[in-house]
Amino acid sequence: MRKHLFEGIIRAPLTEPAPSPDGAALTELANSLDRTARRRLGGSLSIRVVDAGSCNGCELELHALGNAFYDLERFGFHLVASPRHADVLFVTGPVTTNMREALERTYSAIPNPKWVVALGDCALDGGLFAGSYACVGGVASVIPVDLHIRGCPPPPEKIIEGLLALIA
């Protein structure tokens, strides 16, 4: 028992070290976010996720953020169930015709100030599904987007870099 306690004290943490904020994301955010608004977040973010029609690849990467290795909550980021408790709306996938109204209503339900992050290539411009009869297009064609996190799907560390840019 004593041996295990001693090992627990001297062993380095097994979690992924914190990445630096993404440089490209910081540049994009500089155009849409002023520092005062960012300071209001107080170094913590409540995030509501909407799958607007993704293949679920982006969701798998999002789920990985909650595991012990990436441990998203140690940065002060929390996923919330209600848009009324959220600061940030994460949207994955191209926006399908069926999800358009749900996305608009979720966006309207988030109190100001609020920010929208489009996650993945599909959320940027429709990605693989661009031009489909069932899709409206990228998230920006439905609601204003403050930050795009690219990738198909974006890996967890890329998502954390983007989030850190929001509160940098």
> 90: which 2 tokens?
């994460």
- H or E segment at 63? helix 57-64
Using left for φ > 0, alpha for ψ between -120 and 50, and beta otherwise, residue 25 falls in alpha
**Bond from prior residue into 113 cis (ω within 30 degrees of 0):** yes
Q: C-beta of 96: minimal distance to ligand SF4 in Å?
A: 11
Q: Is 152 in the site for ligand SF4 (CB under 6 A)?
A: yes
Q: Which residue number, 83 or 127, has a Cβ lying nearer to ligand SF4?
A: 127
Q: Is 91 in the site for ligand SF4 (CB under 6 A)?
A: no
Q: Which residue number, 46 or 92, has a Cβ lying nearer to ligand SF4?
A: 92
Q: C-beta of 18: minimal distance to ligand SF4 in Å?
A: 24
Q: Are strands 95-96 and 77-79 parallel, antiparallel or unpaired?
A: unpaired
> 120: which 2 tokens?
């993945």
Q: Which residue number, 18 or 128, has a Cβ lying nearer to ligand SF4?
A: 128
Site of interaction with ligand SF4 (CB under 6 A): 54-55, 57-58, 92-93, 120-122, 127-128, 152-153
